[in-house]
Amino acid sequence: MANKPLYIQKAAQLVTLQGSSDAPLRKEEMEQLQIIEDGSVWIEDGLIQSVDTDAEIQKRYASRLNEAEIVNARGKLVTPGLVDPHTHIVFAGSRESEFELRLKGATYMEIMNAGGGIHSTTSATRNASHEQLYEESWKRLDQFLRHGVTTVEAKSGYGLSMEHEIKQLEVAQQLNRDHTIDIVSTFMGAHAVPADYKERPDDFVDEVIQKMLPEVARRELAEFNDVFCERGVFTPDQSRRILEAGKKWGLLPKIHADEIEPYRGAELAAEVGAVSADHLLRASDVGIQAMADQGVVAVLLPGTAFFLMAEMANGRKMVDTGVPVALSTDCNPGSSPTVSLPFIMNLGCLKMGMTPAEVLTATTINAAHAIRRGHEIGSLEKGKKADLVIFDVPNYMGLQYSYGSNHTQTVIKNGRVVYRRDEV
């Protein structure tokens, strides 16, 4: 039997972002939220049927109003479900002691080069069973949902061997099937050079290219291929080889670029036609311009800069240069152990000079484009998936003004109410 229609009614502000499905928004487009006041949404079969003022919806569906399940959004803000386009959620263990070491002066790269950091999480993840990883990651997904997130990207990269990279990707695939949140998978075998390849990193690059990428593609375990291009990890040349090889298998390039040091990562992203370049704390002006020219989405991760006590990426400059900007948590146990995309949005405003409207665009439609889902999610338009959030604030600015809080009241995924704050 078909589900009842769902009628989300009378939002003080309904942020639709209409007309943005074909390409990410740039420059002043990022401020145009296409808000409907006293707005309503009519949903059937998991899809949005109509988005309009409440008066129009009442007229249009007059004969069917008593069939529908009604959700009252009076006085509140309704937005598209938030999209997190860069996470490392499938991992085991945690790294509190490294956090303390960093607070005492050690750097992220020193800890990694001494065998900790990504290597530490790799050991814990290799030692964890599929079931353990599934359960730990499930809890993180529940937390994302409570923060209004309805789609996340998830990377492998804590396996660093065929067996364990595949295990991570299979966990993500199963979570995508079982959990309410949709997961989009990225292979990141080139996240670090594993300890046993320390003296011969090019052999590991060959292993990724010749063995792992073909197998991941054959089993259809990922859509994207990412690499940590950073001094002391993978060079731009190694990164280029890995990303080009992935393209031959149909895996679209993404890149961890210019996170710790300037390393021409943004330039490389433009050169290989990456869908996104992520981090970009130290990106050069030339690289930023190249990204704007090629339409590479900048996925900015201010939580990582915050947690590593580093200087933020220049989000303001990127928006003004014409780069389509998205924001993400980078949720991972080392550089950004958070699931709070709303807090990341606060940082986008207060630490990167972006406006409340721009950060909302950056976590909805632009984030959807960063994972090639702009036609399905990220805006409220007829035919799109009915993924929405009701926030308990009177307008879109309230999400940033009243900072550090989780304002998520109700989450709707595929046309069903999946979370209500007061009735968990």
Give the annotated binding-site residues.
86, 88, 95, 158, 191, 256, 259, 330, 332, 334-335
Edge-first strand order for the sheet with 182-190 is: 82-84, 149-155, 182-190, 224-229, 252-257, 276-279, 297-300, 325-327
- Min. distance of Cβ 188 from ligand NIG in angstroms? 8
Give the ranges where 179-284 is alpha helix by DSSP (H). 201-207, 213-218, 236-248, 265-272
The CA-atom distances, in angstroms, between 208 and each of 194, 202, 258, 309 are: 12, 10, 22, 32
Residue closest to ligand NIG, measured at CB: 334
Q: What is the CA radius of gyration of the chain?
A: 21
- Min. distance of Cβ 340 from ligand NIG in angstroms? 16
Report the residue number, 95 or 413, with the smaller CB distance to ligand NIG: 95
- Min. distance of Cβ 326 from ligand NIG in angstroms? 14
How far from chain centre, in Å, is Cα 91? 16
Q: Considering only residues 318 through 347, tell me which ones interact with Fe ion, judged by CB under 5 A.
A: 330
Q: What does 259 interact with, of ligand NIG, Fe ion, none (CB < 5 to 8 A by kind)?
A: ligand NIG
Three-class SS state of 153 = strand
Neighbours of 296 (CB within 10 A): 29
Report the residue number, 184 or 380, with the smaller CB distance to ligand NIG: 184
- Min. distance of Cβ 385 from Fe ion in angstroms? 25
Report the residue number, 52 or 330, with the smaller CB distance to Fe ion: 330
Q: What does 229 interact with, of Fe ion, ligand NIG, none (CB < 5 to 8 A by kind)?
A: none
Annotated binding site for Zn(2+): 86, 88, 256, 330
CB 126 within 8 A of CB 164: yes
Report the residue number, 322 or 337, with the smaller CB distance to ligand NIG: 337
In whole angstroms, give the CA distance from residue 326 to residue 344: 11
- Give the interface with ligand NIG as residue ranges (CB under 6 A): 88, 117-118, 121, 228, 256, 259, 304, 330, 332-335
- Min. distance of Cβ 138 from ligand NIG in angstroms? 19
Give the footprint of Fe ion on this chain (CB under 5 A): 330
